[in-house]
Amino acid sequence: AQSVTQPDIHITVSEGASLELRCNYSYGATPYLFWYVQSPGQGLQLLLKYFSGDTLVQGIKGFEAEFKRSQSSFNLRKPSVHWSDAAEYFCAVGARTDKLIFGTGTRLQVFP
């Protein structure tokens, strides 16, 4: 079955600290992987995506993610978190332009 697991429902970090949000997936075909961010009451903004090639992808706002096929993971990282990064983060998998399967999300809280 196709699925995406985000094990951490809620993460709290101090501003300036590093961040890693975990994402594991199960997908039959070659996965296309995405990370989205959603602020309260807002739509989704794409942070980064992975289709092929270099397994370390850079995104917007200083985020990066690493695809590890052997672990079926696509973890999101940021070396130094800003207060404005507080939001809900969703990992998703799909087949390019096909429907996406989303994880349950990780809510990030940032303390000053």
Q: Which of residues 77-96 bind other proteins (CB under 8 A)?
A: 90, 94, 96
CA–CA gap between residue 66 and residue 56 (Å, rounded): 4
Query: In terms of Cα–Cα distance, which of 10, 49, 37, 6 is closest to 24?
Result: 6
Residue closer to other proteins by CB (options 85, 105) is 105
Residue closer to other proteins by CB (options 38, 75) is 38
Name the burial class of residue 95, with classes exposed (0-12), middle (13-18) and buried (19+) by CB atoms within 10 angstroms of its CB.
middle
Residue closer to other proteins by CB (options 29, 46) is 46
Residues that bind other proteins (CB under 8 A): 34, 36, 41-44, 46, 49, 51, 90, 94, 96-97, 99-105
